[in-house]
Amino acid sequence: MPELPEIENIRQTLEHLGTVGRKFQSVELRRQGLRTPFPPQMSQKLKGQTIKGISRRAKFLLFETEEFVILSHLGMTGFWRTEQSAHYKKHDHVIFHFNSGPQLILNDTRRFGILDLLEKSKLNKSVWLKYLGIEPLASDFSGDLLFTKSRHLKCTIKSFIMDQKRIVGVGNIYASEALFRAGIRPTRKAMTIKHDEANALVESIKKVLHEAIASGGSTIRDYRDPNGNQGGFQERFSVYNREGSSCLQCGHPVKAKVIVGRNTFWCPNCQH
DNA sequence: CAGATAACCTGCGTGC
DNA sequence: TGCACGCAGGTTATCT
């Protein structure tokens, strides 16, 4: 489900809801795990710990306490929501109970998500974060960098920008959208991207991610922020999910094709 | 070894 | 109405 803009939106919404400062009473695990087993002794370890901050790395949400970091990846269908009463829904797998304020509930239909607990000092060495690439919204993510890193690579430019070992946070929606804005076909080999195209692509990635964050992310089916609100960026897709419809820029029909296992959309007239 | 594909899991829309 | 099939925001184990 969620790519960088959705995770960032969840992070900001949780902050606005006053999650920072809450103290854990218990953690209720309603099954053994998701994609991986839940960490042992989670409730015992977190009891009495206070959430000091909520940050994001790639598509991971990180809840920091005095001693630990709770690491949450939402896979395809995961989301967090707050709930005043103990009224649970199907696929509510984890409930954070605090000393005050609403409960925080992790719901994940397909269970592709991850929830882990790490000692603070072991965070950066953890297998989850160790191999992650550069943050696309960081100032050192530049056209120069993308150009240099993509030389001699035979993979498509689409799979390049979606590879979390290289660039983090860009998933299937924003890959198509960024390539459209940059005028680059997703089928191009990464090694054929010219220097000025690399510059345009990096600018497009940053811009599309910023715009998506500002409009609350994209809701295709499951995504909700912790208040239960849908995103708004799906109404502003240029190409994603628009196969056969007219390109908003030139009127040509939008094409679709599966690339590295994911459906991919582009305008054959605007993108070269 | 880089790159492509299958598998993990549930639900929903489509077409017969 | 029912059922089979394909497809969905991600990642990784397994192939070629």
Q: What is the pLDDT of residue A85?
A: 86
Q: What is the pLDDT of residue A92?
A: 97
Query: Using CA atoms, how far apart are residues A123 and A121, in angstroms rounded to an integer?
Result: 6
Q: What is the pLDDT of residue A145?
A: 95
Helix (H, G, I), strand (E, B) or coil at A81: strand
First CA to last CA distance, chain A = 28
Rounded mean pLDDT for each run of 10 residues along chain A, 272 residues in total? 94 98 98 96 98 98 98 97 92 98 97 97 91 95 95 93 96 97 96 96 98 96 93 96 95 93 95 96
Stated pTM of the model:
0.97
Helix (H, G, I), strand (E, B) or coil at A37: strand
The protein residue nearest C9 (Cα–C1') is A1
Q: Which nucleotides of B are covered by protein (CB under 7 A)?
A: 2-12
Q: Which residues of A are catalytic?
A: 2-3, 59, 262
**C-alpha closest to that of A209 among A151, A155, A168, A258:** A168
The protein residue nearest C7 (Cα–C1') is A263
Q: Straight-line distance from CA A108 to C1' C1, in Å?
A: 30
DSSP letters for A195-223: HHHHHHHHHHHHHHHHHHHHTT---SSS-
Cβ(A111)–Cβ(A35) below 8 Å:
yes
Q: What is the pLDDT of residue A105?
A: 98
Q: Are strands A103-108 and A114-119 parallel, antiparallel or unpaired?
A: unpaired
Q: What is the pLDDT of residue A143?
A: 96
Q: Straight-line distance from CA A129 to C1' B5, in Å?
A: 25
Q: What is the pLDDT of residue A260?
A: 85
- Rounded to the nearest 5 degrees, what angle is found at the Cα of A23, between the Cα atoms of A42 and A9? 85
Q: Straight-line distance from CA A221 to C1' C9, in Å?
A: 9
Footprint of strand C on the protein (CB under 7 A): A 1-3, 6, 35, 58-59, 73, 75-77, 110, 112, 128, 164, 171-173, 217-223, 231, 261-263
Cβ(A9)–Cβ(A86) below 8 Å:
no
Q: Straight-line distance from CA A260 to C1' B8, in Å?
A: 17
Tokens of A111: 């269970």
Q: What is the pLDDT of residue A140?
A: 94
Cβ(A107)–Cβ(A89) below 8 Å:
yes
